[in-house]
Amino acid sequence: MTKYIVNRLLGMIPTLLIIITLSFFIVRIAPGGPFASERKLPEVVERNINAKYHLDEPLIQQYGRYMFDILRGDLGPSFKYKDYDVNYYIANSLPKSIVLGSYAMLLALVFGISAGIIAAIRQNTWLDYLSMGVAVIGISVPLFVIAPVLQLIFAMKLKWLPTSGWYTTGEGWKTVILPAVSLSFAYFANIARLTRSSMLETLRSDYIRTAKAKGMKNTTIIFKHAMKGAMLPIVSYLGPAFAGIITGSIVVEQIFRVPGLGKFFVQSSFNRDYTLIVGVVIVYSAILIVMNFVVDIIYAQLDPRITYK
Amino acid sequence: MFLKRKQPKEAALNEFAQVVEGNSLGKDAWKRLKKNKMAVLGMIIVAIYSILAASAMFLPINPYDQIILDHQHLRPSFNKTAGDLMMETKLDDLYFKAWRAGSLVVTEAESQKIEEWISLNETNKVWNFLYTEGEAQRQAGTFTFSSADQRTIDRLQEKIDTEFLINVDKMFYTDPETGKSKNIARMNFLDIQRIYAEYLGVEESVISDQIQNEIRSQVLNTVKSATPDLTAEEYEANLELELQSLGEKGMASLGKTNLLVSLKTAISRSIERGLKQEIKDDKTQFPINREVTVNELLSADITADLKHERHYYLGTDYSGRDMLSRIIYGGQVSIAIGLVGTITSVLIGIVLGAIAGYAGGKIDFFLMRFVDIMYGLPYMLLVIIFMAIFGRNIMNLFVALAMVSWLTVARMVRGQIMSLKNSEYVEAARSMGASTGRIIFRHMVPNSLSVIIVYSTLRVPAFIMQESFLSFLGLGVQAPYASWGSLVGDAVNGMTLYPWKLVFPAIAMTIFLFAMNFFGDGLRDAFDPQSKNQL
């Protein structure tokens, strides 16, 4: 097991390296370069700017410098906002995104798994149809439709919840509800469907029949025996779900005006603030890769049938 | 080729002398699909959408990109024309003013209710109430507008009744020497310049200077919008650079576009005068569709219509464009990107997957490691970077999405090919001397086609969602083009005041995605009955 963890940890390095390299070169080959808009500056100023951002060095040296800076945890200066560097912006906005994403994931897991189990136990009853109907809606309706519609209904018409903002706007925890719910909807739907089908399969398997034959209580069978086996597909779904929640949070933060990383990302891509874009992508990717790693470890822990070289 | 020789069809009999008919996989799947009601419904809806989107050009709908500022944010209505709605909006405004001024008298309780609505930002309710109240009072004769307001109303009414839109479809020029008439849009820059100068009766050099100036100011505007804060000298320098990079050809084509627009405007102005007179004399009936002679050399095909007679069944957007047309054309863009993108990514996936699966060894190892690493990337983010850096247009969007979505197909096809590699018919084909390419693409790929088809149908809605996601963020399809995502994205601001802008595209898109998902699920169950009830 330790060897497996070490292997996977080492496996994370090339992926991260490729992401950084790819982002670095995409930005450098961008037509016009980062200062294209200011190309008619006086020559001295231009030379100074190039020297300040080390753009006068050969490409390979720039790449080496960038890699070294990232290893030290420095994502470089922002090209557009002169006063602060990328680290400052990320440190300010990342916590909000993490809070939002964790709430969404939590909601999706709790409600998705419960809905799936209920649907599986009460197969072909109205409970089953109801939860699967909601799940189909969650899968078919895109996030950027669900979010404004929820906002329109619950915030603007019924006025139960604030329309936008974050903790600091004075509404407190109420501001989190709508963004988290809309972000979690698609993943709730997928998890509910996955849970239902894998639960149905598990309930038909031999060891459950044995447990039933031994006269065990139904609840014990479901929560102690079936649950463990049925959770495997859900754990393996968590990786894609994390990726989806990260991209989804970009839209949700846009709609509900959450000052998180996603909102920054879109803004910086409009401003063509290349260092900020690359910085945000690297942070997102690192989160994603770490999450995938954690998911793999959990999977290995849960399934005794899997042996690792 | 002896293999292809047709053999007389002979009914196969089983041991009970019953006729046994062979059944292809496709036929079998179709039989099962027909039983699945939701899948059939989905298929029909998808078909209707596709037909509507494909025939958008021929549908009797308003142009999707025509901006009419008078028609900004008109609400959807089935029986009222744009003019009626404009008048209603004006009256709303005037009644509100009258209520504020105290000339429109309502009871104390009602006044309080209105104040409450205003404090809650329920402007629509206020307008509705005051409008019905005001109309009732005006009918009963207890309320009349002030003379200034009445004049505003009359002016608007006259505008609604008389304003029309002229559309110059084609312009023709009759050559005085040969007597042949030619379509002006097909001529080159210098000829058009000469014609325009002749028409205005000025020297050609005047026109040429004017066009030069127009191009300069246009380029300067784009430079200014790209780089907001530079000094005047820097702008001047940038402008020269841009003009240099345009070159002769670029200048000529820009000039031609500008000339055509000016010529069109000049012609429609000269026609407008005549038409206005005709309206005054009550001689014309709209819509007009005719050929007009401008002078002895110039003639034009025009269509004219009363501007405010239009119906907007689904309302209009912030620049007065018809939402119905925009949703249909947006569907065209979304569905096209979904289909073409899926086909491209599936083709790339098939080729690479088949090569990896068949060749094995090092090629397989490197291709699959590459796929693994690509899987680990947050590819939507990379697509966003790509769009931000290389410009936001439909082509880039399509390339960016197709480039990252072939991974799953490649893996799938590789697995299929590897399992088929050692089957007897492949062995047979190889022993008969078939080339590798032929074995892969004639024998193995068709055999894994059912899996690929099923995956592709489920891929289309995902593709549409991704495209719409980017367009929603403003990184995809740009105005004047529309896609469902960009329509929803435009609607998010001000959705309490103009909910139709959000609701209709959202419904259109949701129905299509529902249908596509049901159809895809049904197709998967039909091709692979064992997969039933799986996700």
Q: Are B27 and B506 in contact (CB under 8 A)?
A: no
**Any long-range contacts for B421-426 (C-beta under 8 Å, 24+ apart)?**
B421/B357, B421/B358
Is the distance from CB of A48 to CB of A242 less than 8 angstroms? no
pLDDT of residue A36: 53
Across the interface, whether the CB atoms of A40 and B492 are under 8 A apart is answered no
Give pLDDT, residue B226: 61
All residues of chain A having their beta carbon less than 8 Å from the beta carbon of residue B234 are 40-41
DSSP H or E stretch at residue B298: strand B298-306
Across the A:B interface, residue pairs with CB atoms under 8 Å apart total 132
Residue whose structure tokens are 């309080």: B112
- Given a cut of 50, whether residue B1 has pLDDT beyond it is no
The yes-or-no verdict on residue A39 having pLDDT over 80 is no
B residues 228-257 closer than 8 Å to A (CB): 230, 234, 237-238, 241
- Round to whole Å and give the CA distance between B129 and B157: 23
Note whether B496 contacts A: Cβ–Cβ < 8 A: yes
Lookup: tokens for A74: 């420095």
- pLDDT exceeds 90 at position A108: yes
Dist CA B386 CA B197 (whole Å): 46
Q: Which residues contact A120 (CB under 8 A, 6 or more apart)?
A: A128, A195, A196, A199, A200, A203
* Residue A199, C-beta contacts closer than 8 angstroms, at least 6 positions apart: A116, A117, A120, A121, A226, A230
A300-304, B52-56, B216-220, B501-505 — which is least confidently predicted? A300-304
Q: How far is CA B229 from CA A61, A78, A83, B94, B234, in A?
A: 32, 18, 18, 42, 10
- Residue-wise pLDDT tens digits, B391-435: 777 788 888 888 778 888 898 888 888 888 888 888 888 888 888
**Residue A110 in tokens:** 């709790």
Rounded-to-integer distance, Cα B386 and Cα A269, Å: 10
Residue B514: which of A140, A159, A247 has the nearest Cβ? A140
Instruction: Give buried/exposed letters for A85-99 (b at 16+ CB in 10 A, else e).
Output: bbbebbeebbebbeb
Q: What is the mean pLDDT of residues B266-281?
A: 78
Q: What value, to the nearest 5°, has the Cα angle with vertex A196 and ends A178 and B516?
A: 70
| B406 touching A (Cβ < 8 Å) | no
**Per-residue pLDDT, B113:** 86
Instruction: List A residues 67-86 in contact with B (Cβ-Cβ < 8 A).
Output: none
A251 closest CB neighbour out of B230, B388, B472: B472
| Stronger pLDDT, A214 or A83, i.e. the higher one | A214
Quote the CA–CA distance of A93 and B114 in Å, as a whole number. 41
Per the listing, tokens 């050809």 go with B249
Q: Could A40 and B237 be called an inter-chain contact, meaning their C-beta atoms sit closer than 8 Å?
A: yes
The answer to whether B468 contacts A18, with C-beta atoms less than 8 Å apart, is: no
Give residues 103 to 132 of A whose Cβ lies within 8 Å of B. Answer: none
State CA A155 to chain mean position distance: 25
A145–chain B nearest CA distance, Å:
6
Percent of chain A with pLDDT over 90: 9
B152, B90 contact by CB (below 8 A): yes
Q: Which of residues 421-450 of B touch A (CB under 8 A)?
A: none
Look up tokens 């996977």; give the residue: A8
- At B234, is the secondary structure helix, strand, or coil? helix
Predicted confidence (pLDDT) at residue B374 exceeds the cutoff of 70 = yes
Alpha helix locations (H) across chain A? 2-29, 43-52, 59-71, 86-121, 126-140, 143-150, 174-203, 206-213, 218-220, 227-230, 232-256, 261-271, 274-302
Mean pLDDT of all residues in chain A?
Answer: 82
| Closest Cα in chain A to B499 | A152
B:309-368 residues touching chain A, CB 8 A cutoff:
none
- Identify the pLDDT of residue B530: 63
Residue type, A57: E
Beta strands B181-183 and B164-174, pairing class: antiparallel
Q: What mean pLDDT is predicted for residues A192-205?
A: 88
| Residues B497-516, mean pLDDT to the nearest whole number | 90
Percent with pLDDT over 90 in chain B:
5
pLDDT for residue B378 is more than 80? no
β-partners of residue B19 are B13
What are the φ and ψ backbone dihedral angles of A32, each rounded to 5 degrees?
Answer: 90, -25
Q: Percent of chain A at pLDDT above 70?
A: 93
Query: What are all long-range contacts of B529-533, with beta carbons under 8 Å and residues at least 24 apart?
Result: B529/B32, B533/A197, B533/A200
More confident residue, A100 or B387: A100
Look at residue B228 and tell me whether its pLDDT is greater than 60: no
Pairing mode of beta strands B181-183, B298-306: unpaired
Cα gap B47→A176, rounded to integer Å: 41
* Of residues A251, A270, A288, nearest to B378 (C-beta): A288
- In this prediction the ipTM stands at 0.83
Element housing B293 (H / E): strand B288-293
Residue B462 CA to residue B53 CA, distance in Å, equals 19
Candidates B384, B469, B496; nearest CB to A156:
B496
| B69 in contact with chain A, both atoms CB, cutoff 8 A | no
Cβ distance A193 to B535 under 8 Å?
yes
For helices B499-527 and A126-140, angle between their N-to-C axes, nearest 10 degrees: 110
Beta-bridge partner residues of B168: B302
User: How far is it, in rounded angstroms, from Cα B522 to Cα B39?
Assistant: 5
Mean pLDDT of all residues belonging to chain B: 82
Q: Note the pLDDT of residue A309.
A: 46
User: Is some CB atom of chain B closer than 8 A to the CB atom of A97?
Assistant: no
Q: Is the peptide bond before B63 cis (omega within 30 degrees of 0)?
A: no
Nearest to A144 among B381, B472, B513 (CB): B472
Give the one of B381, B468, B517 whose C-beta lies nearest to A139's C-beta: B517
Q: Please tell me the distance from the alpha carbon of residue B522 to that of residue B516, in angstroms, as a whole number.
A: 10
Least confident of A179-188, B250-259, B377-386, B439-448: B377-386
Q: What's the distance, CA B472 to chain centroid?
A: 13
Tell me how many degrees the CA angle B229-B231-B235 measures, rounded to the nearest 5. Answer: 90
A-facing residues of B in 168-227 (CB < 8 A) are: 226-227
For A252-291, the pLDDT digits (tens) are: 988 888 888 888 888 777 777 777 888 888 888 888 888 8
Give the distance from residue B6's alpha carbon to the nearest chain A alpha carbon, in angstroms: 48
B382–A contact, CB cutoff 8 A: yes
Cβ distance B514 to A269 less than 8 Å, yes or no, reads no
> For residue B306, what are the β-bridge partners?
B164
- Which residues of A fall within a CB distance of 8 Å from B510? 140-141, 145
Which residues of chain B have a CB within 8 Å of the CB of A272? 388-389
Nearest to B368 by CA among B353, B379, B378: B353
Cβ-nearest to B373 among A14, A233, A274: A14
Please, are residues B64 and B99 in contact by the beta-carbon 8 Å criterion?
Answer: no
Q: Which of residues 80-119 of B touch A (CB under 8 A)?
A: none
CB atoms near residue B469 (< 10 Å): 23
The residue with tokens 């999706």 is A108
Q: What letter does residue B60 receive in the DSSP assignment? A: S
Q: Which two tokens stand for residue B384?
A: 């966003």
Q: Which residues of B touch A143 (CB under 8 A)?
A: 469
Nearest-Cα residue of chain B relative to residue A245: B378
Instruction: Give B97-129 pLDDT, tens digit per residue.
Output: 888 887 777 788 888 888 888 887 777 888 888
Which residues in chain A touch residue B388, judged by CB atoms under 8 angstroms apart?
269-270, 272, 277
Distance between A115 CA and the closest CA of chain B, angstroms? 15
Structural domains of chain A ordered from first start: 93-261 (1.10.3720.10)
pLDDT at B511: 92
pLDDT in the model for residue A109: 93
User: What distance in Å separates the CA atoms of residue B387 and residue B485, rounded to the nearest whole number?
Assistant: 16
| More confidently predicted of A88 and B230 | A88
Sign of the dihedral through C-alpha B466, B472, B477, B482: positive
CA pair distance B515, B213, nearest whole angstrom: 53
Max distance between CA atoms of chain B, in angstroms, equals 100
Locate the DSSP E strands across A10-111: none
The answer to whether A142 contacts B469, with C-beta atoms less than 8 Å apart, is yes
Distance from CA of A188 to the nearest CA of B (A): 13
With CB atoms and an 8 Å threshold, state whether A285 touches B377.
yes
Q: What are phi and psi of B482, to 5 degrees?
A: -135, 155
Pick from A187, A171, A186, A191: nearest CA to A256? A171
* Nearest by Cα to A268 from A285, A251, A280, A283: A280
pTM over 0.90: no
CA end-to-end span of chain A: 9
Question: Which residue is it, tokens 């100023």?
Answer: A45
Residue with the bigger pLDDT between B519 and B158: it is B519
- Write down the pLDDT at residue B441: 83
Q: Which amino acid is at A135?
A: A
